[in-house]
Amino acid sequence: MPSFALDQQQEEWCRQVRDQAAARLRPLAEKGEPGRVNRPLLAALGELGLLDRLFTSGALELCLLRESLAQECTEAETALALQGLGGHPVLRFGTPSQRDRWIPGVRAGRAVAAFALSEPGAGSDAAALALDAVPDGAGWRLTGEKKWISNAPEADFYTVFARTGEAPGARGVSAFLVPADRPGLAGRALDMLSPHPIGALAFDGVPVGPEDRLGEAGGGFRVAMDTLNLFRPSVGAFAVGMAQAALDATLAHTAGRTAFGGVLADLQAVAHRVAEMATRTEAARLLVYAAAGAYDGGAPDVPRRAAMAKLLATETAQYVVDHAVQLHGAVALERGHLLEHLYREVRAPRIYEGASEVQRTIIAKELYR
């Protein structure tokens, strides 16, 4: 079993990413408008070479990148991750023409990518997709709706999953690369708790051809799962980064805040709670690294490990941030406070890319397989 202690070079790189996030990315994030794509922030991620690392890194390095960004600037972390989520299917399954057209722009932060899987009636059960791909000559017409799509409706292209009907259930879904300017495609923004852009897409006979398909006909579920198996551990890394930021803030606050003739950290109830927060954060971090290492090593149990990592890390982050707010008291509820921001950010990862209940189902199925 490999060790998951980082070496000196990895530690230094993570520190550099944190420094870049604090000095260059956070000021751009603070100027952004909640619920809108922050294109200057994306451009800076491209200029720093961080978007490029999305497509040249293994799973472990992706986790280190997301964790480091999350500690200093969750907006930058999310912007980077969404580029990867929307762009990875094109890189892995796209034709040379598709890759040449879109991937350079994604890497530079010029082209905004989106991953369009969820629908009003198909969130956790991705095999229940209803977006219809009706045959039209050599191609198809997409009709239906997608909902809760990050970066919609402002993305420049979407990786879209639609039912082409080669077989029942998941085996009858295909993936398509759909540019945002296709006729019949419209979108609207959704007002959500999370500060990053999320929207709905309406498809009214949107034309797509064989040249727009990603992978084989009926192979869309494989495209989706290949992407999610890579990104699920790194969602856990995002959560670990938020937990670490909350833990660091709590250590500083409880060590300096006077109360009852001493400081908060002198109270055993406080010190023990902080110890629990730190222990859970470290355990989640190690499970995330183990899942990423399994992916990089081509292990056969990646789906189980990825699900475990996402489940534990996102639930842990919720626990740590909640207790950090409690130990800070009312100040943590003020708009603009780090913990107020993290409290809003930390809730969504327990739902997207497979809710915690879905992760438990995946784990159980893999155990009993």
* Last residue of one domain, picked from the residues 217, 250, 274: 217
- When the pLDDT of each residue in the chain is averaged and rounded to a whole number, the result is 94
Note the pLDDT of residue 230. Answer: 87
Pairwise CA distance, residues 300 & 193, whole Å: 37
- How many structural domains does the chain have? 3
Residue 183's CATH number: 2.40.110.10
227 and 362 share one domain: yes
Question: Which residues contact residue 93 at a Cβ distance below 8 angstroms, ignoring those fewer than 6 apart?
Answer: 175, 214, 215, 223, 226
Percentage, residues of the chain above pLDDT 90: 88
For the stretch 42-97, pLDDT in tens is 999 999 999 999 889 899 999 999 999 999 999 999 999 999 999 999 999 999 99
Domain presence at residue 176: yes
Q: Residue 69's domain spans which residues?
A: 8-108
Say whether 197 sits in a helix, a strand or coil. Answer: coil
49 and 127 share one domain: no
Domain presence at residue 3: no
Nearest-Å Rg of the Cα atoms of the chain is 21
Q: Where does the pLDDT of residue 170 fall: very low under 50, low under 70, confident under 90, or very high at 90 and above?
A: confident
268 and 289 share one domain: yes
Q: For the stretch 155-183, what's the b/e string if a residue is b when 16 or more beta carbons lie within 10 angstroms of its beta carbon?
A: bbbbbbbbbbbeeeebebbbbbbbbbebe
Say whether 29 sits in a helix, a strand or coil. Answer: helix
Domain presence at residue 334: yes
Note the pLDDT of residue 1. Answer: 41
184 and 273 share one domain: no
* Last residue of one domain, picked from the residues 108, 132, 164: 108
For the stretch 304-318, pLDDT in tens is 999 999 999 999 999
95 and 126 share one domain: no
Pairwise CA distance, residues 45 & 122, whole Å: 32
77 and 176 share one domain: no
Residue 14's CATH number: 1.10.540.10
β-pairing verdict for 173-179 and 258-259: unpaired
210 and 147 share one domain: yes
Q: What is the mean pLDDT of residues 162-170?
A: 86
Domain presence at residue 14: yes
Pairwise CA distance, residues 254 & 144, whole Å: 52
Note the pLDDT of residue 327. Answer: 98
Domain presence at residue 1: no
Q: Which residues are part of the catalytic machinery?
A: 353
Residue 134 burial (CB < 10 Å; 0-12/13-18/19+)?
A: middle
Pairwise CA distance, residues 339 & 71, whole Å: 12
Nearest to 338 by CA among 32, 11, 26: 26
154 and 57 share one domain: no
255 and 279 share one domain: yes
Note the pLDDT of residue 4. Answer: 66
Q: What is the mean pLDDT of residues 340-361?
A: 94
For the stretch 99-133, pLDDT in tens is 999 999 999 999 999 999 999 988 777 678 999 99
* Last residue of one domain, picked from the residues 64, 93, 108: 108
Domain presence at residue 30: yes
Is 257:266 a contact under the CB 8 Å cutoff? Answer: no
Pairwise CA distance, residues 342 & 181, whole Å: 35
Q: What is the mean pLDDT of residues 18-32?
A: 97
Say whether 135 sits in a helix, a strand or coil. Answer: strand
Domain presence at residue 248: yes
Please determine, for residue 366, whether its predicted confidence score (pLDDT) is greater than 90. yes
Domain presence at residue 323: yes
For the stretch 237-280, pLDDT in tens is 999 999 999 999 999 999 999 999 999 999 999 999 999 999 99
Note the pLDDT of residue 3. Answer: 54
364 and 269 share one domain: yes
Task: List the structure tokens of 363.
Answer: 């784990």
347 and 277 share one domain: yes
Is 241:77 a contact under the CB 8 Å cutoff? Answer: yes
Q: What is the DSSP letter of 139?
A: E
Pairwise CA distance, residues 183 & 338, whole Å: 42
